[in-house]
């Protein structure tokens, strides 16, 4: 199954999963209203946004000056996209009316030629398209285009879609290979993947050509950003990273020649997502191979156990292979979200289990850790080891926070979380004329057209609490086609499946492949034992040498001080440890907590000595671990993922 198309969306997929339904309800009922209040500066004790006011000023509805980052408009765009996905899952007249009013405001802020960016309209109109390396003009447009496509898909309304088609047409008049246009590409990638979505929504080939142009032009010599600086009279301006600037924004080489992920992690995965889209649509084998090479580098050598990427504060990005620190890492929430975007597109390119293995890892760990259980606090940086007193004292970790924040001056992550969670139904299934694939075990039902036959597919279960899952396949009439269900990489040989008691064993590329005559009501029973497992890292990962982490199914676990006392780093676990699994419905929204025996070092430090001669022996201790995504919801305390091994 190649070049699959998603069957999820406004009309086909309905999620009933208890875990994800709670998060989707949180987006609709709490997160979207809360973020609207923040963007209108009506929430106390959080960073000022001014995002809606910027549009009101640009539209001439009120007086004032622009406030915020050059990309402040993108917060509104991602919020609108989250609203669209929420409306796709069910009507809400008041929410739709609020969105429509916001869209009218955006239309009033658009200039007659299609240009749309409140920062440059209000603060620096003379600098339009003069500094794309840093301006984020195309980045903002990309997010607004994605919102427009999602809103049209959810409601059928074209107002925002037409606004953004006009904007895309304007950008197409500015950039391209023709004489008189800028021969360049975005500074912060995002528009490329958005143009693909706009092409798919409208069928306008011009948008696909422009997306391809941006990808193909990137990294060519002479460098566009150098020529751009010279054109504005700043030939020596190479930006904050000077000689490494080209790596920072992945323009150091043509994309087909890039072998190692480098630079700003979010820019990178947004670009890789567009590359995978274009490789699939254009059947571009060279671009597809570049995607595979970069995928292997990111996921096999530069990805944290949680699905986090981007190891360092410097350029919010990648450092080098196997450099995966725990207490000083960066792991921007948006980077994990972008990794999920990329994984979905790689699975569209080719149905291999490795892609949704990574998407699942990121979703249940590195993404959800970015948001509190009440939906009103967020992590921008996601550490794997946190000691609040050290974070507050050290200048080399002042980019991190020991507890989630209500908002950020650079607030890219909160609305990004909202739009991904609200659109989770788009990640569960895909289909083409040969059959249907089940990628994620999120309880839900979809309807797909397979070779002209309408097929209902449903996932039933309580995953990841339980690994017993049932997949119901009900064509409108008996028909032969293929159903693929992912065999999770964490499960391996423990996976089993049966139809009517008969085992199914044809596993290819990480999917169980069932090619048969299907009848209405057929059922595939899947068994994926959710046993806790100790995980070790490659010895090249110096930070994790002699340590182990705990996973149960796709979920990474951690220790918190609130359960285990201070000095979590003094806890050591034996490789043969036995786990007690206990579902606690009142704990952290309902989680499976893990209890196990461990050891602490020999005591006797009451005098506060800094060093002493080694004392043999240890003290037994009963340890409690909770899912990593749920930490920091019970007050300020320390946290640890990787434990010492005895």
Q: Which residues are catalytic?
A: 316, 412
> How distant is the alpha carbon of residue 211 from its chain centre?
21
The Cα–Cα gap between 424 and 440 comes to 10
In the numeric block, the tokens 């001080």 are attached to 561
**Contact predicate 533/573, CB 8 Å:** no
Contacts by residues 537-540 (CB-CB < 8 Å, ≥ 24 positions apart) = 537/305, 537/324, 537/642, 538/322, 540/321, 540/322
The Cα–Cα gap between 513 and 482 comes to 7
State the DSSP H helix or E strand holding residue 34, giving kind and residue range, or none if neither.
helix 32-39
Token pair listed for 203 = 């069928």
CA dist 642 to 168, 269, 439, 475, Å? 47, 26, 29, 47
Task: Provide CB contacts within 8 A for 65, sequence distance 6+.
Answer: 57, 122, 123
The Cα–Cα gap between 643 and 241 comes to 36
Neighbours of 636 (CB within 10 A): 12
137-155 vs 93-109: helix axis angle to the nearest 10?
A: 140
**DSSP code of residue 303:** B
State the DSSP H helix or E strand holding residue 480, giving kind and residue range, or none if neither.
strand 479-486
Task: Provide CB contacts within 8 A for 452, sequence distance 6+.
Answer: none
For the chain, the residue count is: 646
Q: Residue 294: which of 260, 319, 328, 322 has the closest Cα?
A: 260
Task: Provide CB contacts within 8 A for 353, sequence distance 6+.
Answer: 486, 487, 488, 489, 509, 510, 511
**Contact predicate 65/123, CB 8 Å:** yes
The Cα–Cα gap between 466 and 274 comes to 35
**DSSP code of residue 505:** -
State the DSSP H helix or E strand holding residue 386, giving kind and residue range, or none if neither.
strand 385-386
CA trace torsion 226, 227, 232, 233 (10° rounding): 70
**Contact predicate 557/592, CB 8 Å:** no
CA dist 129 to 75, 150, 175, 232, Å? 21, 27, 10, 10
**Contact predicate 335/265, CB 8 Å:** yes
Q: Residue 622: which of 582, 554, 571 has the closest Cα?
A: 571
State the DSSP H helix or E strand holding residue 147, giving kind and residue range, or none if neither.
helix 137-155
The Cα–Cα gap between 252 and 589 comes to 46
The Cα–Cα gap between 286 and 81 comes to 32
């Amino acid at each position: 199954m190649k070049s699959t198309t998603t069957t999820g969306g406004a009309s086909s997929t309905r999620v009933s999963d208890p875990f994800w339904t709670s998060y989707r309800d949180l987006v609709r009922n709490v997160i979207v209203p809360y973020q609207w209040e923040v963007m209108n500066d009506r929430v106390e004790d959080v960073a000022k946004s001014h995002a809606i006011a910027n549009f009101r000023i640009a539209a001439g509805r009120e007086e004032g000056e622009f406030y915020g980052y050059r990309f402040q408009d993108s917060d509104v765009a991602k919020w609108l996209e989250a609203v669209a996905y929420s409306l796709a899952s069910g009507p809400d007249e008041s929410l739709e009316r609020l969105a429509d009013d916001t869209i009218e405001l955006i239309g009033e802020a658009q200039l007659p030629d299609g240009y749309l960016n409140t920062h440059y309209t209000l603060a620096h109109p003379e600098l339009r398209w003069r500094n794309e390396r840093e301006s984020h003009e195309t980045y903002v447009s990309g997010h607004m285009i994605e919102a427009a496509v999602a809103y049209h898909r959810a409601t059928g309304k074209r107002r925002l879609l037409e606004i953004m088609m006009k904007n895309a047409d304007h950008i197409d008049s500015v950039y391209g290979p023709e004489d008189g246009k800028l021969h360049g590409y975005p500074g912060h990638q995002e528009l490329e993947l958005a143009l693909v979505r706009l092409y798919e929504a409208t069928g306008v080939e011009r948008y696909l050509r422009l997306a391809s142009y941006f990808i193909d032009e990137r990294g060519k010599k002479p460098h566009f950003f150098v020529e751009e600086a010279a054109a504005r009279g700043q030939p020596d301006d190479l930006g904050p990273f000077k000689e490494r600037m080209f790596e920072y924004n992945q323009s150091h080489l043509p994309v087909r020649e890039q072998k190692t992920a480098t630079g700003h992690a979010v820019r990178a995965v947004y670009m890789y997502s567009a590359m995978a889209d274009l490789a699939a649509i254009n059947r571009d084998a060279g671009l597809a191979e570049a995607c595979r090479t970069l995928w292997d580098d990111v996921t096999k050598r530069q990805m944290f156990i949680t699905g986090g990427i981007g190891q360092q504060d410097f350029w919010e990005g990648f450092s080098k292979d196997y450099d995966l620190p725990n207490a000083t890492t960066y792991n921007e929430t948006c980077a994990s979200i972008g990794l999920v975007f990329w994984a979905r597109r790689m699975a569209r390119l080719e149905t291999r289990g490795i892609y949704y293995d990574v998407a699942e890892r990121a979703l249940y760990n590195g993404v959800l850790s970015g948001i509190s259980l009440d939906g009103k606090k967020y992590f921008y940086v996601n550490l794997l080891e946190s000691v609040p007193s050290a974070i507050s004292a050290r200048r080399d970790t002042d980019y991190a926070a020991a507890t989630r924040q209500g908002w950020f001056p650079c607030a890219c992550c909160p609305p990004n979380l909202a739009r991904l969670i609200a659109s989770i139904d788009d990640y569960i299934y895909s289909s083409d004329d040969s059959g249907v694939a089940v990628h994620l075990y999120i309880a839900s039902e979809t309807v797909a057209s397979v070779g002209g036959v309408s097929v209902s597919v449903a996932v039933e279960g309580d995953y990841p609490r339980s690994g017993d899952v049932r997949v119901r396949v009900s064509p409108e009439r008996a028909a032969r086609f293929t159903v693929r269900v992912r065999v999770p990489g964490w499960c391996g040989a423990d996976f089993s499946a049966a139809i009517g008691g008969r085992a199914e064993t044809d596993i290819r590329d990480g999917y169980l492949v069932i090619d048969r005559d299907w009848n209405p009501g057929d059922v595939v029973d899947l068994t994926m034992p959710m046993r806790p497992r100790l995980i070790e890292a490659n010895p090249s990962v110096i930070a994790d040498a002699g340590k182990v982490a705990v996973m149960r199914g796709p979920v990474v676990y951690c220790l918190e001080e609130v359960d285990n006392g201070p000095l979590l780093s003094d806890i050591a676990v034996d490789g043969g440890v036995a786990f007690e699994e206990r579902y606690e419905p009142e704990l952290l929204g309902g989680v499976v907590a893990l209890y196990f025996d461990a050891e602490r070092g020999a005591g006797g430090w009451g005098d506060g000595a800094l060093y002493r001669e080694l004392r043999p022996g240890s003290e037994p201790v009963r340890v409690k671990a909770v899912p990593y995504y749920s930490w920091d919801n019970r007050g300020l305390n320390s946290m640890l993922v990787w434990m010492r091994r005895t």
